[in-house]
């Protein structure tokens, strides 16, 4: 039960802004537009599933330490799970990237969705790279030696030292996962907020139906004005 | 328990550096090339394979 004047409190104002920015029915919709029924749309969520395995196995590795994951059978298994889930993460993420690039997924006020995804991809490369550096074996030592020359040659070697094991370990298990986590949560929230980008034909049809409307507006209204769950014709 | 690593090692030489392909200034390991070709293959399949539950009229179940 709320008292008079409660709606002017900062908690109520913050709540209204949060619900307005991220309506619950958009965050967790019951239905999606029909054009989402295509295999090319599953690679984003496959990337997220792979990332979840990466995070869980990474936490287990961090808790148990290299004396466990380099020596015991179970430890080496979890270590391999961490590696192969990263391989799968990149495999699915690259296909997701190709798909969205050829769909021009930045259409319809989705530029920030595209940018956060692209930056998350670059951040993932850095996170995976520091993972190779902290394997604590001769392989990581060789990679660090080669990378030092490469990074110095492009002028960014002054900002961090890939031969500094402690620094690279903290980059890998704290700094970069935090940055990546923020970027990916932001990216997913934007996908939910703006909706999945419609096919070109459907956006063009919507544009034709929007008399005098701006193209970007037509593309953004294809799925935002159609109630979630309403069936749509698949273009093509 | 059978040693699966022995079987794998007989198929793939695991104690020597992986093979590389050279083409002018471009060089790429066969392992990386295989992954890239697989990604391209999966990408093309994702474009053309029918999604389960999809109807010709575009409606969903």
Chain B: residue whose CA lies nearest to A41: B46
Does one domain contain both A58 and A144? no
Q: B-chain residues within 8 Å CB-CB of A37?
A: 51, 53-54, 58, 60
* A87 domain-assigned: yes
Q: Is residue A133 part of a domain?
A: yes
How far is the CA of A97 from the CAs of A44, A101, A105, in angstroms? 9, 6, 10
In a domain, A113, yes or no: yes
Q: Cβ contact (<8 Å) for A34 and B49?
A: no
The two three-digit tokens of residue A84, written as one number: 């192969």
* pLDDT > 70 fraction of chain A, expressed in percent and rounded: 88
Residue to mutate among B46, B47, B50, B61, with most A CBs inside 10 A, is: B46
Alpha carbon A104 to chain centroid distance? 17
Tens of pLDDT, residues B7-33: 777 777 777 888 899 999 999 999 999
Residue (of A126, A153, A130) closest to A143 by Cα position: A130
The pLDDT assigned to B12 comes to 74
- The three-state (H, E, C) secondary structure of A143-166, written as one string: HHHHHHHHHHHCCCCCCCCCCCHH
What average pLDDT does range B36-46 have in this prediction? 97
Please check whether residues A180 and A147 belong to one and the same domain.
Answer: yes
- The shares of helix, strand and coil residues in chain B, as percent rounded to the nearest 5, are 45, 15, 45
Structural domain contains residue A27: no
Domains contained in chain A, number: 2
Same domain (yes/no): A120, A69: no
Q: What is the pLDDT of residues A29-62, one digit of tens each?
A: 888 888 888 999 999 999 999 999 999 999 999 9
Residue A98 lies in a domain: no
Of A49-63, A187-201, A212-226, the one with minimum mean pLDDT is: A212-226
Q: How far is B3 from chain A (nearest CA, A)?
A: 14
Tell whether A75 and A116 lie within a shared domain.
Answer: no
Of A201 and A83, the one with more pLDDT: A83
Check: complex ipTM more than 0.85: no
A212 or B36, which is more confident?
Answer: B36
Instruction: Please tell me which of the candidates B39, B46, B59 has its beta carbon nearest to residue A39.
Output: B46
Residue A82 in any domain: the answer is: yes
Looking up residue A176, the CATH number of its domain turns out to be: 1.20.810.10
As a whole number, mean pLDDT of residues A150-169 equals 92
A89 is in which domain, residue-wise? 37-93
**Is A204 within the bounds of a domain?**
no
Are A50 and A134 contained in the same domain? Answer: no
Domain for residue A141, yes or no?
Answer: yes
**Each residue of A225-235: pLDDT tens digit?**
344 444 444 43
């Amino acid at each position: 039960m709320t008292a008079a004047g409660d709606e002017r409190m900062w908690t109520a104002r913050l709540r209204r802004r949060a619900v307005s920015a991220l309506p619950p029915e958009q965050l967790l919709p019951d239905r999606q537009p029909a054009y989402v029924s295509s295999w090319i749309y599953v690679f984003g969520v496959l990337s997220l599933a792979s990332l979840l395995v990466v995070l869980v196995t990474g936490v287990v590795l961090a808790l148990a330490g290299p004396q466990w994951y380099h020596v015991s059978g179970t430890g080496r298994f979890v270590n391999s799970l961490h590696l192969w889930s990263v391989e799968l993460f990149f495999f699915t993420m690259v296909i997701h990237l190709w798909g969205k690039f050829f769909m021009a997924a930045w259409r319809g006020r989705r530029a920030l969705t595209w940018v956060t995804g692209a930056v998350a991809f670059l951040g993932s490369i850095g996170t995976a790279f520091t993972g190779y550096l902290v394997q604590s074996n001769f392989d990581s030592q060789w990679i660090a030696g080669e990378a030092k020359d490469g990074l110095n040659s492009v002028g960014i070697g002054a900002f961090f030292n890939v031969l500094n094991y402690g620094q690279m370990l903290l980059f890998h298990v704290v700094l970069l996962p935090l940055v990546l986590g923020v970027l990916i949560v932001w990216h997913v929230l934007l996908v939910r907020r703006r909706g999945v980008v419609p096919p070109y034909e459907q956006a063009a049809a919507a544009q034709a139906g929007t008399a005098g409307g701006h193209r970007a507006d037509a593309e953004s209204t294809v799925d935002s004005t159609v109630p979630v769950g309403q069936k749509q014709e698949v273009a093509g | 328990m059978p040693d699966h690593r022995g079987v794998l090692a007989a198929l793939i030489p695991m104690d020597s550096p992986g093979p590389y392909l050279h083409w002018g200034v471009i060089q790429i390991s066969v392992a990386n090339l295989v992954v890239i070709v697989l990604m391209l293959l999966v990408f093309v399949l994702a474009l053309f394979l029918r999604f389960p539950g999809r109807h010709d009229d575009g409606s969903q179940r």
